[in-house]
Chains A and B, each alone.
Chain A
Amino acid sequence: MLHQFLGIGYLTWITFLPVIGMIVVLLIPRGNSNVMKWVALAATILQLVFAALIWMNFNPALSGINDPNGFQFVEKARWIDLQGAGWFGKVAVDYFLGIDGLSLPMVMLTALISFVGVIASWNINKAQKGYFALYLLLDTGMMGVFVALDMFLFYVFWELMLLPMYFLIGVWGGPRREYAAIKFFLYTLLGSVLILLVMLGLYFSVSIPDPATGQSMHTFDMLAMMNPKNYVTNSLLAGIGTYWRDVAFIALFIGFAIKVPVFPFHTWLPDAHVEAPTAISVILAGVLLKMGTYGLLRISFPIFPDAMLKYAYPMAILGFINIVYGALCAMAQTDFKKLIAYSSISHMGVVLLGISALNTQGISGGVLQMFNHGVVTAMLFLIVGVIYDRTHTRGVNDFGGLANQMPVYTAIMTVAFFAAIGLPGLSEFVSELLSYLGAFQTFRWVTIFSSVGIVLTAGYMLWTLQRVFLGQLPEKWKSLTDVNGRELVAFVPLMIVVILLGIFPSIMLHPMNATLNHLVDFVQKVGTGLTAVK
């Protein structure tokens, strides 16, 4: 097999490297917190190296989605293989990894944000061993979600993130951390169990011949679930546009929507963000939210294309609500972190609007927006972290006139804020433009109303800039120091990405293109009952 290192595929390495790091961290005797940090950093840097290898070896011409030959770096092995009794049937779960143009940007994002997160965690001063061990476990869970193609495996990774996240918010978080952590946990578990039920329904509805023996068996293979021919006649989810398929789609949508989060399932997000330590906010906004929309694109759309087409309009409306509601809420905040949290809701609305349009522009814009928002919002949370570390306050109104005091910081923040507003030349401009462009073709009025969000975003972002940097510097902040070297290490790679993708968005759009075109084509055709191209 191609693309191996020490006989093990790249994707396994990139997914399980953090676990190796975790084991090393656990073995380090108490008190050597510096060593633990460096181990965590080394694990994430190695992960970045593998991400780079994957990037370089990725073939942008291949499609993916439902085509097994379109996936790259594929690793497939039997995990559970059981010759069941007659009434039970064969039980098989595959260890099935692979990426296509949809997962590639997410893998890159996860590797990048995980690395930045470790740097942002440098001054964690409480129970470092537990912190870094859990952090690395979380990293594995996130990466696993983006590379798994077997639904059982996907679900295990999906749930695997819950536990570390609960502890990371709950132990190392702010004053209301207990409340935020349990709220996050309950919401996401509720979402996951819905996904679990749909997964079981799909499992029993799909039957394929076992590649090894030819005997027919149920499967968790996502690709097999996308082919209407594999559904057993009269099974729960067979057919096109049936009642149970609608129910399953909605359940799945709620499961993913909680993660995105889509209004009205968003209330855990502001709490979790405000209470989480900086690095965890970065991970939460940078990667975790994308898992929701990734799940929609990877599972909901191609497996339930009929229901997706049926509910595209309500989804677009939810996107609109997210955009405008998130922006209005952000405008009302005086807590810097909460403000960014609501802006995330608003920006994820753009993704939802874009992907529900189901045309190449919309979906490309949506996926690119997932990547770009991940990078930009990570910067924004780091920015809050920098100032919070120094002043222990996050009140936007407590500041003013910082521009003279912290010039480098001001420069970074300005770039990040303008990127979030969608200034041409910076990354989010391209993705938002594409999303709105795609959505406009399908949902004209919703898109027109949604574009109010752009104005609102510019409003609250600029207003925040003004409150923090301009005006009179309060006496007590006269001794604030500017961004230090460690913080710069976190900011610089993100900034490079923001500017680079603003100027050459095709770097990212090019590898996605074949896959997303295929996705659009596939959903349109299968969803309307036509046979798929491949």
Chain B
Amino acid sequence: MAQTIYQSFVYVLPETVLSIFFVLTLLTAIVGKRRSKYLPAFMALLGFVLAGVFVFRQIGVSELVFSGMYVVDPFSWFFKVIFLVTGILIVVFSMQSRELEAISTKYSEYFSLIISLTIGAFFMAGSSNLLMMYLSLELVSISSYILAGFTKENARADEAALKYVIYGAFSSGLMLYGISLLYGLTGETNLYAFNQALAIGSIPRVTILIAIVLMLVGLGYKISAVPFHFWTPDVYEGAPITVTAFLSVTSKAAGFAMLIRFFKIGFIDVSAQPIAAGMWDIFKGFNWTDIIAVLSVLTMTVGNLVALWQTNMKRLLAYSSIAHAGYILMGFVTLTDQGISAMLIYFVAYLLMNLGAFYVVMLVANKYHTENIDDYKGLGYRSPYAAFALTVFLFSLTGIPPTFGFIGKFYLFSALINSHYVWLAIVGVLNSVISLYYYVKVVRNMYLVQPTDTSRVEFDFGSNLMMTLLVVPNIALMLYFSPILNWAQYSVTMFGLR
């Protein structure tokens, strides 16, 4: 049911709460600075928690609001939870970051930008209108440009931010061109209407294809798919670790959410029975998913191969995150609900393992003042618990049981095998084997190399607790993964389909 504008407000309460707290967090700079430097952080946390309360009241809701601009449905609900959890974790991480200590006078801006990026991500996951898509994408992008260059005393951060802006502007320009083409062809910006127009009208296929490729440039940039990934390593290396971790999860997940929704709602053949199983074969006779398959293979292979030569931990994780985007794309290639639910499962895994890895990297940078993989030598003997946690996260990223990363990969490969994409599955598993080499390189440094300096470096109770909170689900969810599976299956449902 479409809702009137007035009625619609009920459905965007989480976004509204976040917007209010965006302002409040910003205002703490004026009001509460003398009380505690962490006041903005607590404000942001409160905002996320309150928004979480409203998000949880949206379970099962499926509505089209604001005249078809925005959708609240299980699919976006899934991503909202991902964004909120990431947001909360990132705020907590940021409070412990030594790197950000230097700019503690600007904490209020920093934390408010975390909120604004999350708002943008919320809208990206739910927008069902081409213009809305573009606007929410820009909200995320602009917030992330500022965040990337936030420690502006650091020359690398400046370079990162500038590169990010230039690439971002270029690719969103192309995307806008794609949107204008689509609008020109169908006269619609609403995805649902657009789908109908596509189904009825005789629209030149080549033009549509060009428009799709242009859209893919914009979305590919957000999810850092090869060949639109060139900004990723520099930005990830230059930005503060917390920001890198944040971008690698929230921004990427939002990009994927939008990608899936755009293609699924825009191009699904609603006349096919059953819809869910239906190939999205608006382009009859042209296997356009091959484009995505090639993108996926390129993304994971380039990501993994380049990661082999990295010596900086953040850069390594940057390339690894590119590779992971490639894995996730594999699920999309199948164009089935099973593939999409596999992607969602993977996001849960990716959040847990990637944030965990970045967190340990941050802690190590705090104490050891280094991000160099060579300096991780003997970490297993100097800080045993941190090294153990990082080992779990890295093996989870590789996808080896008994870690949840394995379940993530397992379901991606399942979806591929079930859709008879055996060749892609083979490329995927070979990539996992390649990735093992560079993840294990870190583990090797931590355990197999004896340190020259054997003094113990312990972390405080809070850090250890935080690591435990991330390690436990990484293992426990492998031993019992039904709930996640169930949630992912349920979350595939989008408004208006079925």
Contacts and interface: CB of A to CB of B under 8 A. Distances in A.
A189 B337 contact: no
B197 to A, nearest CB: 27
Interface in B41-66: none
29 contacts: A80-B480, A80-B485, A82-B482, A82-B486, A82-B489, A84-B489, A87-B274, A87-B277, A87-B336, A88-B489, A127-B381, A159-B401, A160-B402, A177-B448, A178-B444, A181-B444, A181-B448, A185-B436, A189-B433, A189-B436, A193-B432, A194-B429, A196-B429, A197-B426, A200-B413, A201-B422, A203-B417, A204-B417, A236-B420
Contacts of B422: 197, 201, 236, 244
A159 B395 CA distance: 12
Contact of A200 (B277, B414, B437): B414
A85 B489 contact: yes
Range for the number of chain A residues in contact with chain B: 35 or more
Residue among B336, B406, B425, B436 with max Cβ neighbours from chain A (10 Å): B436
A190 interface: yes
B134 interface: no
B481 interface: yes
B485 A166 contact: no
A186 interface: yes
Tell me if A's interface is mostly helix, strand, loop or mixed. Answer: helix
A155 B401 contact: yes
B276 A171 contact: no
A91 interface: yes
A468 B449 CA distance: 34
A170 interface: yes
Nearest to A83: B486
A244 B420 CA distance: 11
Contacts of A170: 444, 447-448
B490 interface: yes
A182 B402 contact: no
A508 interface: no
Contact of A236 (B337, B400, B417): B417
B103 interface: no
Contact of B444 (A84, A85, A182): A182
Interface in A148-192: 155-156, 159-160, 162-163, 166-167, 170-171, 177-178, 181-182, 185-186, 189-190
A457 B425 CA distance: 43
Interface string A82-102: 101111100100000000000
B410 interface: yes
B437 A80 contact: no
Nearest to A162: B400
B417 A166 contact: no
Given A160-B402, A196-B413, A82 B485 contact: yes
B497 interface: no
A250 B422 CA distance: 14
A231 to B, nearest CB: 14
B337 A88 contact: yes
A182 B437 contact: yes
A81 interface: yes
B67 interface: no
Contacts of A79: 480
B4 interface: no
Nearest to A78: B482
Interface in B411-437: 413-414, 417-418, 420, 422, 425-426, 429-430, 432-433, 436-437
A29 B145 CA distance: 49
Given A171-B448, A200-B413, 5 more contacts: A87-B274, A185-B440, A193-B429, A200-B418, A201-B422
Nearest to B336: A87
A211 B33 CA distance: 65
A197 B414 CA distance: 8
A197 B425 contact: yes
Contacts of B492: 85
A454 to B, nearest CB: 37
Interface residues of B, number: 41
Contacts of B401: 155-156, 159-160
A185 B447 CA distance: 15
Contacts of A177: 448
Interface in A423-460: none
Nearest to A190: B433
B148 to A, nearest CB: 34
Contacts of A190: 430, 433
A163 B420 contact: no
Interface string A498-512: 000000000000000
A170 B440 CA distance: 11
Given A91-B485, A194-B429, A156 B400 contact: no
B151 to A, nearest CB: 36
Contacts of A178: 444, 448-449
Given A80-B481, A155-B401, A159-B401, A200 B417 contact: yes
A81 to B, nearest CB: 7
A87 B338 contact: yes
Given A170-B447, A204-B418, A186 B482 contact: no
Contacts of B417: 197, 200-201, 203-204, 236
Contacts of A181: 444, 448
B490 A85 contact: yes
Residue among B406, B432, B482 with max Cβ neighbours from chain A (10 Å): B482
B341 interface: yes
Contacts of B444: 170, 178, 181-182
Nearest to B425: A197
Contacts of B430: 190, 193
Residue among A81, A88, A201 with max Cβ neighbours from chain B (10 Å): A88
B447 A88 contact: no
Nearest to B406: A159
A87 B436 contact: no
Nearest to A137: B402
A35 B448 CA distance: 25
B276 A87 contact: yes
A34 to B, nearest CB: 21
Contacts of B425: 197, 200
Interface string B299-310: 000000000000
A86 B337 CA distance: 10
Contact of A156 (B276, B402, B414): B402
Contacts of A244: 422
Contacts of B489: 82, 84-85, 88
A166 B418 CA distance: 32
B31 to A, nearest CB: 49
A196 B429 CA distance: 9
A85 B482 contact: no
A236 to B, nearest CB: 6
Contact of A203 (B338, B414, B490): B414
A166 B391 CA distance: 12
Contacts of A197: 413, 417, 422, 425-426, 429
Contacts of B433: 186, 189-190, 193
A82 B418 CA distance: 18
A87 to B, nearest CB: 5
A87 B337 contact: yes
Contacts of B437: 182, 186
B213 to A, nearest CB: 29
A485 B218 CA distance: 72
B338 A88 contact: yes
Given A80-B480, A87-B276, A87-B336, A196 B485 contact: no
A200 B437 CA distance: 24
A82 B407 CA distance: 15
Nearest to B409: A196
Contacts of A194: 429
Interface in B279-313: none
Nearest to B492: A85
A244 B417 CA distance: 12
B337 A85 contact: yes
A296 to B, nearest CB: 20
B237 to A, nearest CB: 25
